[in-house]
């Protein structure tokens, strides 16, 4: 996993320094407890080591019977291997079963995909996820 240096510094602080091929370290506080951090870790694990977190935003969401948060996550995949990993992520995301403590991922969709070929192959994926509180 890579974190884009232009990304929000709070994301870098929350994830800590990324480990080179071993995934994301738990940092000095252990496993993250905030649902947004758990969701980001799960999405990044699903996307694989070729994924680069470009942006994450979260906003409160509620209906008459449910409450939760809507998350927008933008990931970048570079190179041929990265684009292949991005294609796999796009195919896998909508049906993936997430395990977030006291939360249900009610909806996970790919909102946009952009491909660039020059100067090198690059794919940018925007995913929208709805996280509901499971009481």
Q: Is 38 left (phi over 0), alpha (psi -120 to 50) or beta?
A: alpha
Is 72 exposed, middle or buried, given 0-12, 13-18 or 19+ CB atoms closer than 10 A?
Answer: middle
The pLDDT tens digits along the chain (135 residues) read: 555 555 554 554 555 444 434 444 444 444 557 889 999 999 999 999 999 999 999 999 999 999 999 999 999 999 999 999 999 999 999 999 999 888 999 999 999 999 999 999 999 999 999 999 887
**So what's the pLDDT on residue 41?**
94
Options 3.40.50.300, 3.10.580.10, 3.40.950.10, 3.30.2000.30; which CATH number does 2-133 get?
A: 3.30.2000.30
> What is the CB neighbour count within 10 angstroms for residue 36?
18
User: What separation in angstroms does the CA of 12 have from each of 42, 43, 59?
Assistant: 16, 16, 19
Residue 107 bridge partners (DSSP):
130
């Amino acid at each position: 996993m890579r974190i884009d240096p232009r990304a929000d510094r709070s994301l870098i602080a929350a994830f800590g320094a990324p480990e080179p091929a071993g995934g994301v370290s738990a940092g000095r506080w252990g496993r993250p407890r905030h649902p947004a951090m758990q969701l980001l870790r799960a999405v990044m694990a699903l996307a694989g080591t070729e994924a680069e977190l470009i942006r994450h935003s979260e906003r409160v969401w509620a209906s008459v019977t449910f409450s939760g948060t809507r998350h927008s996550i933008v990931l970048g995949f570079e190179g041929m291997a990265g684009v292949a990993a991005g294609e796999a992520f796009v195919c896998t995301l909508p049906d993936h079963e997430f395990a977030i403590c006291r939360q249900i991922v009610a909806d996970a969709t790919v909102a946009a995909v952009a491909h660039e070929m020059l100067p090198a192959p690059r794919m940018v994926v925007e995913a929208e996820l709805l996280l509901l509180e499971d009481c």
